[in-house]
A and B are shown apart, each in its own frame.
Chain A
């Protein structure tokens, strides 16, 4: 049973436009959510996180939105840059326990 799902395996966006990556979860006990970015042949790196007591967290060009009632979170990148091309994983945690990862979305930002 996949508790964290990223239903879009890939996304292509023009440079300068907005990228929206989506993630759905099923476990209502999840209280902390993270996004990781991964370049080929490198380890995932932490990008941004959000606690379940918030519905939005912003860091520069990156904003994460959380809709608890829909069990949905999204990552917005504005404006998108070619260097943002990578695989993005969302992850969720329940009370500081292990992270559960989604399957990833490959973002391609075209110049």
Chain B
């Protein structure tokens, strides 16, 4: 079992650019959530996808959008990048709501 896999592991973008991060959930999981973790802070919930729909959204601007594919994998898109978007982006998958979430290793995004 490969667990939750995220790609890429690191990337550097310029302010104003757009970025797409990818996540493959753990085998058997159909729910994917995305979190942003700024340096020295706890993860903050961005949104959750289930059955290809955004089921819940945290307090993030519309520049943050996502998608879930029929195979349950997911993408996080961030437009018009700001310096403050620099963070570790974590993907988590779960089998049913409110059961334990398994996290990937994260994507470290640096905006310069």
Our verdict on whether A and B bind, yes or no, reads: no
